[in-house]
Chain A
Amino acid sequence: MIDLIISPFVEFEFMQRALFGCLLLSINGSLIGVFLLLKRMSLSGDAIAHAILPGAATGYFFAGLNVLAMTVGGLIAGVLVAFLSGITARKTNTNEDSTLASYYLCSLALGVLIISMKGGSVDLLHVLFGSILALDNDTLFLLYFNSALCLLGFCCCYRFLVMDCSDSVFFRGLSKYSGYSHYLFLFLLVFNLVAGFHALGTLMAVGVTVLPAAIAKYWSNRIESMLLIAFVVAVMAALLGLLSSYYYRLPSSSAIVLWLGVFFLLSVLLGAQGGVLRSLKSKAKLNEELS
């Protein structure tokens, strides 16, 4: 059994690279995902993941499958959509979710248009679903850099983010720099999604960010333990996803996200914090006490 788990990673370098890439993504994904969840922005993360597509596609249009060009393009597009939706919402007194939805849909359509102008459906699939089993040195370096940046950002701004998420109005009264933490967080989110899309594709990159945090919420009501649980779950899903992909010839990124989906459903059922069975058990106990 242990041999079945270990041997693919010992025998094949591409599996080692894939596992290492997933490990790096799990570090960032768990950190960013938990704060996305706490800011109630999980769907915004999804929208921004789609919004980076035209930038990445423009990079691809001019330089082919070049990591740097696609990363810079994706970053510009993601930051632009996040910034435009924020500023439009504030200037027109509209909710940010509707402006973000509008911009990201236009952005996604533009991205698909650019890709279809240049390449065939195989290239589109690469951008949408990534290539975790074919991580080259450039992509691994990008993932390294992304993890280092993300960890540094969170080390410096962890308390800022906690304050901003828990009570932004109160925090505004305490610090004149309170607003910057939100923008730094958005930048880290965009950068993480851009790095993630090289490995897992735009559609799946957000899955490893949002799902581990959603799972962790069912198991803990303390932020520190939520971060740890999200990381462990993300690593487990990456390991199981890569092994499923190896043994059953499944698309890797989909397999990883589907394993996260399985963990999520189990958490909904069994979770210690608001899980269905737990709630039923508490209700039954209460009824017993009353009768």
Chain B
Amino acid sequence: MIKFENISLYRSQRCLLKHCDLTIEQGGFYALTGDNGSGKSSVLKAVLGELDLSSGSIVREFSHGDYSYLPQKNQLDTQFPMSVEQAVMTGLWSQYGAISALDSKHFARINQALHDVGIAHLKRVSINQLSGGQLQRLLFARMLVQDASVLLLDEPLAAIDQKAQTILLDILKAKHQQGVTIIITLHDVGLVKRYASQQLHISDQKIHLCNADFAHSDDCCRLPMRLKVC
């Protein structure tokens, strides 16, 4: 569970959130929506503890290493001399750490993750040879091998085609059914309705929690059946 207690958030002297309370339940599939610049990425970073809050606090019932974060801007250095398999392997850090050797189970998980995201054939290819969409699939595979209990994804579908979007969102759906908490920023209302169970919509410096079945890009707050949290 993640609990926002009266939080206010400022970035570059601009107020993004003002005195918000919110509870994100374990095992939920939350779609985070809002206009550009409304503060979606900042909310995810605040959940991670990477941003200082102006007021209030966030209670996290998960520890360092229990979550996996896919940022909006890919930070993986694509010029780094490593193969796709090696890049996915870095997701297993919490299991093999600085010294332990990887065993066949680890490699089987890497292979399975690459297969799930549809780039198993690129296993030995250098990461600098991947297209934007293939790179995004690689990052998904790296996230999958982590086996984290909370997944935070910041606009992960921006660079990929529709077919790949469906594949990746289906994977997230399967993870959700296994009890993993997912918070994903999305712009497509159709995808929100199809995949998410709850919508977190940011507008007017507030986060509004509503049932994803009634999701709407801008008018969530005006929908009659929404549950306004703050």
Interface residues of A (CB under 8 A from B): 38, 156-160, 162-163, 165-171, 173-176, 217, 220-223, 226
- Report the nearest B residue to A39, measured CB to CB: B77
- A174 neighbours in B (Cβ, 8 Å): 65, 93-94, 146
CB pair B81 A173 closer than 8 Å: no
Q: CA A155 – CA B110 in complex, angstroms?
A: 25
B126 to chain A, nearest CB (A): 5
B: number of interface residues (CB 8 Å): 25
Q: Given the known A-B contacts A157-B98, A160-B98, A163-B90, are A170 and B77 also in contact in the complex, defined by CB atoms under 8 Å?
A: no
Q: Mark B77-106, 1 if CB is under 8 A from A, else 0.
A: 100111100010010011001110000000
Q: CA A158 – CA B96 in complex, angstroms?
A: 13
**What are 13 A-to-B residue pairs whose CB atoms are below 8 Å?**
A159-B97, A163-B93, A166-B82, A168-B75, A169-B75, A170-B142, A171-B90, A171-B93, A173-B64, A173-B68, A175-B93, A222-B82, A223-B80
In this assembly, does B67 line the interface, its C-beta being within 8 Å of a C-beta of chain A? yes
Q: Given the known A-B contacts A166-B76, A170-B75, A173-B67, are A223 and B81 also in contact in the complex, defined by CB atoms under 8 Å?
A: yes
CB pair A169 B81 closer than 8 Å: no
CB pair A221 B98 closer than 8 Å: no
B166 to chain A, nearest CB (A): 25
Q: Given the known A-B contacts A166-B76, A167-B77, are A223 and B93 also in contact in the complex, defined by CB atoms under 8 Å?
A: no
In this assembly, does B48 line the interface, its C-beta being within 8 Å of a C-beta of chain A? yes
Q: Given the known A-B contacts A167-B76, A170-B90, are A226 and B81 also in contact in the complex, defined by CB atoms under 8 Å?
A: yes
CB pair B68 A166 closer than 8 Å: no
Q: CA A187 – CA B98 in complex, angstroms?
A: 19
Q: CA A175 – CA B64 in complex, angstroms?
A: 7
Interface residues of B (CB under 8 A from A): 48, 64-65, 67-69, 71, 75-77, 80-83, 87, 90, 93-94, 97-99, 126, 128, 142, 146
Q: CA A156 – CA B98 in complex, angstroms?
A: 7
Residue of A166, A169, A175, A226 contacting most chain B CB atoms (<10 Å): A166
CB pair A167 B75 closer than 8 Å: yes
Q: CA A170 – CA B93 in complex, angstroms?
A: 11
- B90 neighbours in A (Cβ, 8 Å): 162-163, 166-167, 170-171
- A167 neighbours in B (Cβ, 8 Å): 75-77, 90
A213 to chain B, nearest CB (A): 11
For the complex of A and B, 4 pairs with smallest distance between CB atoms:
A169-B75, A166-B80, A167-B76, A221-B81
CB pair A38 B98 closer than 8 Å: no
- Report the nearest A residue to B129, measured CB to CB: A221
CB pair B75 A38 closer than 8 Å: no
B69 to chain A, nearest CB (A): 5
Given contact pairs A175-B94, A223-B80, enumerate 15 new A-B contacts (beta carbons under 8 Å).
A38-B77, A156-B99, A160-B98, A162-B82, A162-B90, A169-B71, A170-B90, A170-B142, A171-B90, A173-B68, A173-B69, A174-B146, A220-B81, A221-B81, A221-B126
- B128 neighbours in A (Cβ, 8 Å): 221
Q: CA A176 – CA B97 in complex, angstroms?
A: 12
- B97 neighbours in A (Cβ, 8 Å): 159
CB pair B98 A166 closer than 8 Å: no
CB pair B93 A38 closer than 8 Å: no
- A165 neighbours in B (Cβ, 8 Å): 77, 80
- B80 neighbours in A (Cβ, 8 Å): 38, 165-166, 223
Q: CA A157 – CA B69 in complex, angstroms?
A: 24
